[in-house]
Chain A
Amino acid sequence: MIRRPLRPLARILKARERGENPDSIARENLRLRHEEMRDKARNRAEGRLLVLGMTFFLAFSMIGARMGALANMPAQEPRSTASGSPIIGQRADITDRNGRLLATNFETYALYAQPPQMIDPARAAHELVAIFPELNEERLLRDFTGERRFLWVRRQISPEQMQAVHDIGDPGLLFGPREMRLYPNGSLAAHILGGASYGREGVDSAEVIGVAGVERQFDAFLRDPANEGAPLELSIDLTVQAAMEQVLHGGMVMMNAKGATAIIMDVHTGEILAMASLPDFDPNSRPAVLTTGDQSDSPLFNRAVQGVYELGSVFKVFAVAQAIELGLANAQTMVDTRGPMTWGRFRIRDFRNYGAALSATDIIVKSSNIGTARLALMVGIDRQRAFLERLGFLAPTTVEMVEAPTGAPLLPRQWSEISLMTISYGHGLSVSPLHLAAGYASLLNGGTRVQPTLLRQDGPQNGERIVSEEVSATMRAMLRQVVTRGTASFAEVAGYEVGGKTGTADKPRPTGGYYPDKVIATFAGVFPTSAPRYVIIVTLDEPVETSGAEPRRTAGWTAVPVAAEMIRRTAPLLGLRPVIETSDLAGVTLTSN
């Protein structure tokens, strides 16, 4: 840059010669330069101001355009869910095997409040409490007048309640449509169905999610919109279930039991046609989970699936069947039953002394612990364990309920010879009644393994072979004799050829040892024995039958009559026809000319 001096020497000298003030030259120069600079700055500023003005104009136009675009859009209700995936409310129905409804949905409304829109919070709170007495007026008022901008008042309300709330007339009280899970049969099959509650909740809809039972197990299926509302078909037969629950409840009351469970299962398909656990609950309003005490006392506890018990003599059939299958004995083989049998410091006794020896059949019929233990000794530890494993007694059942894995069998810590003998007559191994049903079905259906299932099946399972057809038939014959001349004589239901085995097991104390006066009484049966169709398990928890001189607790007096009544009621519903005895024909007088 070339510097131009403010005081050019040549001009200054000239001015001095002329006697003028040289400073004026400097001032003049300064002024000119100032003007020049000012004009330059103004030119530059002109351009930049133009840019600024255009920018502002464009920005304002953009806002105007955006306003126009927004104004052109249709308004949307401000009370929708904000973000995230839309909630799918529709949940598929659950039906029994014949398509009768077990669970469905019902249109209802949830009540919520938007306190900022409330006109008179005090009055609204007061009138709400009049409609819903369980609400707390002070708390409501605090919520309505506090910082909260949104709160749920009630998750579900009836149409009458809705109208009453509507009549309060406060604009801050609003209704959100809901689908509510409805179990039209009340507590029927409560443990199987489980129950449902709300998951994610929006104002427009709420997610219904299963919390227990098949509702939880098949939650994804039930909520999958791809199924297009196809119902979930269970293996349950509603009428059989209803009859069974009624009889079971009556039996439980009559036998003074604190709990009871029963299962009816198809021996070929493994389908559970009815399964109940008492006490039960209404899945429409599930009770709260117990916070103290034993969870197995809760009505939510499913004794058939979750409860594992030492079930006693019903297990003897497995020991005898295995001995026959292995060729170690046959139905007529005589087994030493002198008692008490001493093994180390351990003694095995029978209920009463059955003499020196019993045939294998009579061991079952009379329920001899000693005889069963001797047969088990012949079988041996490893083979017994493998046999029980194939029958599914060493792992939780695979039935389609979330609770199934919690019903894990309790195995002996060390499978010693003592365990071998006690397990043969049903002590030292705790399994659930459902395990037992599956085991009986597998053993008696001709000898192939079935897995219990709650889903409707189209044909028999034809699983792994457990015992041969002949052994299976032999065992059914033995069980039939238990009913005709043994401990389960009350189980005789004319025409249905019931066979079964009783089991009365002392209840173990939590502290070790057994209670002297508390038992688990079980009847495990099959009918009809000639062509097996169904297995029935009835288990009563702490039953006492008091009609006699002294209280009777054995299964023959408690569980068996209940099971017999159950068969009497449900066999016709299951489509079984009684076998009519024809010997009475002699009493008919044929008249003819």
Chain B
Amino acid sequence: MTEMVYGAVPLRSGDAVLPRWWRTIDKWTMSCILLLFGIGLLLGLASSPPLASRNGLDPFYYVSRQAFFGGVAIAVMLFISMLPPQVVRRLAVLGFLAAFVALMGLPFFGTDFGKGALRWYSLGFVSVQPSEFLKPGFVVVAAWLMAGGQEIGGPPGKTYSFALTVVIVSFLALQPDFGQAALVLFAWGVMYFVAGAPMTLLVFLAGAVVLVGSFAYANSEHFARRIDGFLSPDVDPTTQLGYATNAIREGGFFGVGVGEGQVKWSLPDAHTDFIIAVAAEEYGLVCVLVVIALYAIVVVRSLVRLMKERDTFIRLAGTGLACAFGVQAMINMGVAVRLLPAKGMTLPFVSYGGSSLIAGGIAVGMLLAFTRTRPQGEIGDILLRRGR
């Protein structure tokens, strides 16, 4: 009666958004990301004033920009991590389409900033690299396609996702941006692996990579020089790599001290590609190991959480995002210690860069959304097992 008179009491289905978010979010991963961002700001304080003074700007111009964009990125990350996976997927697909269109428009509207590759849109106060935004969207779309392909009577999702990968990789390679292309290819490969790639295919692929690599080495001078430079035991100390290696040696275990580093004065990319060298020089091995540990925790922990995940789409998408994130960090640091051939790639969340920060925020936000604790039918499983 009361209900008829006063209307129904609004019925709450489940908890409020925030408490549930706090309960289910992977707090370890999130703290690691926040710590990484903090370290990035700290290193930005060290590495960017030389660049700012070279460009005639306020010494902390880049730091304050980094802080601003970092704030936006964290807000975006938190917002996305609160969304349910279905909504994330919907938004990601839309974002992917937008980024894909932007990518195709690059040859017509892009700028190359004098670096010889059309990768950016200049929006005045900030430049945007569409491929950064394309990556998380692509991972979600590919995961969706693969998951769909595993349904009974579903579409041939794996084939579709592979075709999509080929299209995107060829667009990126045309820019040329081999780094991002390799990253996209890698993300797809990891998802395909987890989605159940046949073993024979994996072996065959490994062989093909070796073949293509040696072909490129024999036929592309650019590629061959990179590899030769990497293989030669001596590093030319006047190259960026030489300075970076030397900075790491200079730093030793505890660093030369805050603000005392020299390498930031010599390296044009000290605030982006070689920020780990700045970290190693000023704060020493301790800081670097902390950074490495943070990345490792984010990746490994996400993967472990995804092991329990029942939903194929969420598992694949999460895997793709975590691995792309981890590999990017790994390549950046691997180059600085000369474990990998020189390849310009930013250190996610630590390197300077507005659009890459926000793109990173979106990716990690999605990852957090996918790795949230949710009922995985454990009780049902137990009952089922008992029934059998």
Interface core residue of A34, A49, A59, A73 (most chain B CB under 10 Å): A49
B337 with A49: CB separation less than 8 A: no
Assembly CA distance A59 to B295 (angstroms): 11
CB within 8 Å for A49 and B323 given contacts A41-B150, A63-B330, A63-B334: no
Assembly CA distance A72 to B253 (angstroms): 7
Task: Looking at the assembled complex, report how far the CB atom of A73 sits from the nearest CB atom of chain B, in whole angstroms.
Answer: 5
Task: Looking at the assembled complex, report how far the CB atom of B96 sits from the nearest CB atom of chain A, in whole angstroms.
Answer: 23
Q: Mark A42-80, 1 if CB is under 8 A from B, else 0.
A: 101110111011001101111110111011111111111
B66 part of interface (Cβ distance < 8 Å): no
Q: Which of chain B's residues have a CB closer than 8 A to the CB of A49?
A: 194, 303-304, 306-307, 315, 319
A83 part of interface (Cβ distance < 8 Å): yes
Q: Which of chain A's residues have a CB closer than 8 A to the CB of B339?
A: 62-63, 66
Task: Looking at the assembled complex, report how far the CB atom of A215 sits from the nearest CB atom of chain B, in whole angstroms.
Answer: 31
Chain B binding site: helix, strand, loop or mixed by DSSP? helix
Q: Mark B321-333, 1 if CB is under 8 A from A, else 0.
A: 0010010001001
A123 part of interface (Cβ distance < 8 Å): no
Assembly CA distance A67 to B281 (angstroms): 11
Closest to B330 in A: A59
Assembly CA distance A41 to B316 (angstroms): 11
B236 with A56: CB separation less than 8 A: no
Of residues 224 through 266 on chain B, the ones whose CB sits less than 8 Å from some CB of chain A are 232, 234-238, 242-243, 245-246, 248-253, 265-266
Of residues 112 through 145 on chain A, the ones whose CB sits less than 8 Å from some CB of chain B are 116-117
B266 with A116: CB separation less than 8 A: yes
Task: Looking at the assembled complex, report how far the CB atom of B337 sits from the nearest CB atom of chain A, in whole angstroms.
Answer: 4
CB within 8 Å for A48 and B236 given contacts A62-B339, A71-B249, A75-B246: no
Q: Which of chain B's residues have a CB closer than 8 A to the CB of A78?
A: 237-238, 242-243, 246, 266
B303 with A67: CB separation less than 8 A: no
A220 part of interface (Cβ distance < 8 Å): no
Partner-contacting stretch, out of B173-181, B282-290, B361-369: B282-290
A347 part of interface (Cβ distance < 8 Å): no
Assembly CA distance A67 to B306 (angstroms): 30
Task: Looking at the assembled complex, report how far the CB atom of A169 sits from the nearest CB atom of chain B, in whole angstroms.
Answer: 16
Closest to B381 in A: A39
Q: Using a Cβ–Cβ cut-off of 8 Å, how many residues does chain B contribute to the interface with A?
A: 55
Assembly CA distance A46 to B253 (angstroms): 38
Q: Which of chain A's residues have a CB closer than 8 A to the CB of B285?
A: 67-68, 71
A56 with B194: CB separation less than 8 A: no
A56 with B326: CB separation less than 8 A: yes
B20 part of interface (Cβ distance < 8 Å): no
B83 part of interface (Cβ distance < 8 Å): no
Q: Which of chain A's residues have a CB closer than 8 A to the CB of B330?
A: 56, 59-60, 63
Task: Looking at the assembled complex, report how far the CB atom of B264 sits from the nearest CB atom of chain A, in whole angstroms.
Answer: 12
Residues of B within 8 A of A (CB): 150-152, 190, 193-196, 232, 234-238, 242-243, 245-246, 248-253, 265-266, 268, 280, 284-285, 288-289, 292-293, 295-296, 299-300, 303-304, 306-307, 309-310, 312, 315, 319, 323, 326, 330, 333-334, 337-339
Contacts A34-B151, A70-B249 aside, 18 further interface pairs with beta carbons under 8 A come to: A44-B196, A48-B194, A49-B194, A49-B306, A49-B319, A52-B190, A60-B293, A60-B295, A64-B292, A70-B245, A70-B337, A71-B285, A74-B249, A75-B249, A79-B238, A82-B235, A82-B238, A116-B268
Residues of A within 8 A of B (CB): 30, 33-34, 37-38, 41-42, 44-46, 48-50, 52-53, 56-57, 59-64, 66-68, 70-80, 82-83, 116-117, 149-150
| The 5 residue pairs across chains A and B that have the minimum distance between CB atoms | A82-B236, A78-B237, A60-B296, A75-B249, A53-B303
